[in-house]
Structure 1
Amino acid sequence: MTHFLIYTEDKADSLHVRMEAREAHLEWALNHPTVKLISAGPWLDEAGDMRGSLLIVEGSDLKAVEAWLEDDPYNKAGLTAFRRVREFNWLLGAPA
């Protein structure tokens, strides 16, 4: 399995979309059979509002992680304006 870093930015003025889809997003992220969530959380703008997400996941390959992200309730709700997925070489602080 390989680690991947996922960075997303929400569309402008979409905090309400994030909040409406949040419960379904959390359920999806924590209970998927092929991609394992290692660490995740929203990043905040200058006003302290959630404006995107940063996730570290474990998956078999980039294709599997991209497919997983397509099923994300945030994605299906139209929240995401930008997404970047990169293989991540965990050097320090990796979970035991």
Structure 2
Amino acid sequence: MGLYIISCIDRSGSLDLRMATRPKHLQFLAESSGVKVAGPFLDDDGNMVGSMLIVEVASLEDARNFAACDPYAQVGLFQSSDIRPWKQTAGTATL
């Protein structure tokens, strides 16, 4: 098992789509055992404009599959996304 960061930026002007899809997205996260940390990126006004997740899964392919199953991804919310292996080396929280 490894840790992967999923970093996504919303399409411009898509806050309404994000909010409409948010309950399904939150349910998806709650039902996914590999989610270690998740939360939105914010703009200067405090509006959600993207997502960052750290997931623990067996492989990069599994991380890609996880990201593709996210309701946000399925409705086309994201302008871009990036998935990278990650290793925690500092901090007080153990993921």
User: TM-score w.r.t. structure 2 length?
Assistant: 0.92
SS in 1 for 2:24: helix
Distance 1:83 1:45 in 2: 17
Question: Where does the alignment leave 5 or more consecutive residues of structure 1 unmatched?
Answer: none
SS in 2 for 1:66: helix
Identity of aligned residues (%): 34
Residue of structure 1 equivalent to 2:41 = 43
SS in 2 for 1:64: helix
Distance 1:22 1:4 in 2: 22
In structure 2, what residue type is equivalent to 1:60? A
Q: Give the paired residue count.
A: 94
Question: Where does the alignment leave 5 or more consecutive residues of structure 2 unmatched?
Answer: none
Range with greater deviation from structure 2 (24-33 or 3-12) = 24-33
Residue of structure 1 equivalent to 2:2 = 2
Deviation per CA, 1:1-60, whole angstroms, max 9, x where unpaired? 100011100000000011001010011112136xx0000100101221100011111000
User: TM-score w.r.t. structure 1 length?
Assistant: 0.91
Runs of 4+ aligned residues of structure 1 deviating over 6 Å after TM superposition are: none
Distance 1:44 1:2 in 2: 27
Residue of structure 2 equivalent to 1:68 = 66
